[in-house]
Amino acid sequence: MLDNIKEFASEFFVTGDPLIYGADASIVLATLGIVFVLTYFKKWGWLWRNWITTVDHKKIGIMYILAAILMLFRGGVDAVMMRTQLAFPDLNFLEPEHYNQIFTTHGVVMIFFMAMPLMFGLFNIVVPLQIGARDVAFPYLNSLSFWLFFAGAMLFNLSFVIGGSPDAGWLAYPPLSGSQFNPGVGMNFYIWGIQISGIGSLASGINFIVTILKMRAPGMTMMKMPMFTWSVFAASTTIIFAFPILTITLLLLFMDRFFGAHFFTLDGGGNPMMYINLIWMWGHPEVYIVVLPAFGVFSETVATFARKRLFGYASMVFAMVIISIISFFTWAHHFFTMGSGANVNAFFAVTTMIIAIPTGVKIFNWLFTMYKGRITFPTPMMWTIAFIPAFVVGGMTGVMLSVAPADFQFHNSYFLIAHFHQVLIGGVVFGYFAGLYYWWPKMFGFKLNEYLGKWAFWFWNIGFYVCFMPQYLVGLDGMTRRISVFSDPNWTGLNVVSTIGAYLMGIAFLFQVAQIGYSIFRHEKDTTGDIWDARTLEFSIPSPAPEYNFAVIPQVHSRDEWWEEKERRRRGEKPWQLGPIEPIHMPKNSAIPAIMAACWFVLGFGLVFHWLWMAIPGLIGVFICLYARSFSAHKAEYYIPVEEIERTEATLRGGAV
């Protein structure tokens, strides 16, 4: 009996690596610490009522962002470990198998569990406030989306200590990811971690499209929407067309691995190339999904801090819509070397070059917005300005890669690695940081410390160029991606420099953690709700926003409605005529989303280990939750009475509306 348990445990838990034992210990300690703190301060009820069961878009947004920052830490540690291994020739810091797992989880964590939740976090916090709505269209579904993401992320991260991590690269190409070459459970964690969180992403895409189409304040036509909301609309539309492809691709890979089907196998008539096509039909739109909202953030910050209206609004909208359409027609540029023939490659080379044009239009629009503006340089604006050169260089190397014949040389080299990190860090990460700093006072009611923020900014930026510029060169010298060790002494210098850059970015992250920690205790309070003297509706209400957002929904007349309103007040003209306060219709909290996500987790975990006794109850649980919601949805609403709204508003605004 004891031997059986021992044998099971040695296969169930990942053993033999001191790094993993360290992680085991820290996970147990952190969990015990959290349980102790919650119990000691009697915070379980608070956690349950205010966070786990909440359907408030602002709180869901905060939870997304917290999770994303944790995942940024995890993915960042992976990156630093890889760069440590590659600092010098012939190092033995990581075993090749371990290295494979780490580059796989680094990619997966950074895209699915860092970039996506940070993006949804910003969607949640900003969109309803920006369009003058009380919540998203489907608050319950919104909570479900978050908890599905969370369940998926936890399932994926569990592979680190239980069963073993996936190791077939972030997109898990078969046949390497098939059961023949990858019989362990790592790939199952990959499939179900991403599948579960992907369903959540799909639901969020639907939710935000409907929110934007149906919940805008009266008078806000589509062409009067703030640019960030437009970017969310473009990204959400891309999500609903791209994510079902991912769902099916992962399902087919699961069928291959679980039922022994022959979609992507080398025998039985299967076709591994089809997987690569399918995954990039989702994967290429995906990179535009994450970068479009960053473009939206820059459009807001650049107008606010240049104190001018955004240059070329219509062309910005047009560019974003065009990008989201063309993003579906470039996927094959990820595998020009597959042998699809000259005509196919030429088509995808040309579409890839074309998609650079609307992006260029946007860059010029931001520059022209700044032209002759009275620019101030708080941290959100610094990230915005740093983005422009980073993204232009990254975009140019992207156009180099799009030249199909040349790509045969660049393919899978460090040149490519440097390119996509430059657009993903320089574009997406810089953009989300700008957004995070810009809307932080709206979320929490205080501003983050600018001094520490500037240190973080410079460490990030210098580290970024020090890390990735050498990678272009070492890539041109022939260093390929995903090698766990190199022996060529000619590559040493560039690799050492690159590793130093990675550590600088690691230090930058620590500065950000310190910045947040310090600012919680000593900060400048956002008393007006409009700390940046900004232009859009979310800054017309107090910070943090009350649960119903707008006591009275304003009538919108122009694009920068809040700015125009302030101008009217400055000129002494008649301000907004807000109607009387009326009872507000609100959704009730619900425990079902968190419970349903837990059932999904059980289902996923069972399928990972082929334990049907666990998976089937999980599936039944999911259906019970669906039924429970269907039967109780009509009771899940309530009204906030006028007196309570008036009391809240009086406290928040210090008596003056």
Partner 1 sequence: MAQSPAHGTDHHDHHHAAGHHDPQDIKLLGFWIFLVTDVILFATLFATFIVLRGGTDGFETGAELFNMTGVIAETFLLLTSSFTSGLAVLAMHQNKVKPMITWLVVTGLLGAGFLALELIEFVELVHEGATLQTSAYWSSFFTLVGTHGVHVTIGIGWMISIIIQILRRGLNSDTKGKVTVFSLYWHFLDAVWIFLLSIVYLMEVM
- Looking at the Cβ atoms of 424 and 596, the one nearer to partner 1 is 596
Pick from 55, 119, 131, 137 the residue near partner 1 by CB under 8 A.
137
Residue type, 102: I
- Dihedral through CA 463, CA 468, CA 474, CA 476, nearest 10? -160
Q: How far apart are CA 90 and CA 261, in angstroms?
A: 40
161 binds partner 1 (CB under 8 A): no
642 binds partner 1 (CB under 8 A): no
- Looking at the Cβ atoms of 33 and 244, the one nearer to partner 1 is 244
627 binds partner 1 (CB under 8 A): yes
Pick from 72, 161, 417, 553 the residue near partner 1 by CB under 8 A.
553
Pick from 245, 355, 390, 434 the residue near partner 1 by CB under 8 A.
245
DSSP 538-592: GGGS-SSPPTTS-SSPPPP-STTHHHHHHHHHHTT-----------EEEEPP-SH
State both tokens at 363. Answer: 């860059």
Q: How far is the CB of 634 from partner 1 (least distance, A)?
A: 5
Site string for partner 1, 575-614 (x = CB under 8 A): ----x--x-xx-----------------------------
Q: How far is the CB of 128 from partner 1 (least distance, A)?
A: 12
Q: How far is the CB of 252 from partner 1 (least distance, A)?
A: 7
353 binds partner 1 (CB under 8 A): no
Is 163 within 8 Å of 14 (Cβ atoms)?
yes
Q: How far is the CB of 41 from partner 1 (least distance, A)?
A: 38
Q: Which residue has the tokens 């699961």?
A: 254
Q: How far is the CB of 120 from partner 1 (least distance, A)?
A: 17
Point out which span in 115-123, 243-251, 420-428, 480-488 binds partner 1 (CB under 8 A). 243-251
State both tokens at 460. Answer: 């990030």
Question: HSE (CB half, 13 Å, CA atoms) of 539?
Answer: 23
Q: How far is the CB of 261 from partner 1 (least distance, A)?
A: 4
Q: Which residue has the tokens 């810089």?
A: 430
Helix (H) or strand (E) holding 273: helix 272-306
Number of residues that bind partner 1 (CB under 8 A): 50
- Looking at the Cβ atoms of 283 and 431, the one nearer to partner 1 is 283
Is 55 within 8 Å of 135 (Cβ atoms)?
yes
537 binds partner 1 (CB under 8 A): no
- Looking at the Cβ atoms of 87 and 640, the one nearer to partner 1 is 640
Is 423 within 8 Å of 387 (Cβ atoms)?
no
Q: How far is the CB of 82 from partner 1 (least distance, A)?
A: 33
- Looking at the Cβ atoms of 247 and 492, the one nearer to partner 1 is 247
Q: How far is the CB of 269 from partner 1 (least distance, A)?
A: 3
Whether the upstream peptide bond of residue 593 has omega within 30° of 0, thus cis, is no
138 binds partner 1 (CB under 8 A): yes
- Dihedral through CA 435, CA 441, CA 442, CA 444, nearest 10? 120
Q: What's the longest Cα–Cα distance across the chain?
A: 84
- Looking at the Cβ atoms of 328 and 503, the one nearer to partner 1 is 328
**3-state percent helix, strand, coil for the chain, nearest multiple of 5:** 70, 0, 25
Q: How far is the CB of 609 from partner 1 (least distance, A)?
A: 21
Is 149 within 8 Å of 201 (Cβ atoms)?
yes
631 binds partner 1 (CB under 8 A): yes
Pick from 34, 223, 248, 342 the residue near partner 1 by CB under 8 A.
248
**Exposure class string for 628-654: b at 16+ Cβ within 10 A, else e:** ebeeeeeebeeebeeeebeebbeebbe
DSSP state of 13: B
Whether the upstream peptide bond of residue 544 has omega within 30° of 0, thus cis, is yes
- Looking at the Cβ atoms of 263 and 532, the one nearer to partner 1 is 263
Pick from 249, 299, 369, 449 the residue near partner 1 by CB under 8 A.
249
Is 275 within 8 Å of 249 (Cβ atoms)?
yes
Q: How far apart are CA 87 and CA 8, in angstroms?
A: 37
- Looking at the Cβ atoms of 521 and 631, the one nearer to partner 1 is 631
* Phi and psi, residue 580, nearest 5°: -70, 155
Pick from 8, 44, 623, 638 the residue near partner 1 by CB under 8 A.
623
Contacting partner 1 within 251-310 (CB under 8 A):
251-252, 255-256, 259-263, 265, 267-271, 274, 278
- Looking at the Cβ atoms of 256 and 530, the one nearer to partner 1 is 256
Q: How far is the CB of 260 from partner 1 (least distance, A)?
A: 5
Q: Which residue has the tokens 């991260």?
A: 157
Contacting partner 1 within 187-216 (CB under 8 A):
202, 205-207, 209-210, 213-215
Q: How far apart are CA 610 and CA 324, in angstroms?
A: 38
Helix (H) or strand (E) holding 383: helix 379-402
Pick from 120, 150, 243, 280 the residue near partner 1 by CB under 8 A.
243
Under the rule (CB under 8 A), what is the footprint of partner 1?
Answer: 134, 137-138, 202, 205-207, 209-210, 213-215, 218, 240-241, 243-245, 247-249, 251-252, 255-256, 259-263, 265, 267-271, 274, 278, 552-553, 579, 582, 584-585, 623, 627, 630-631, 633-634
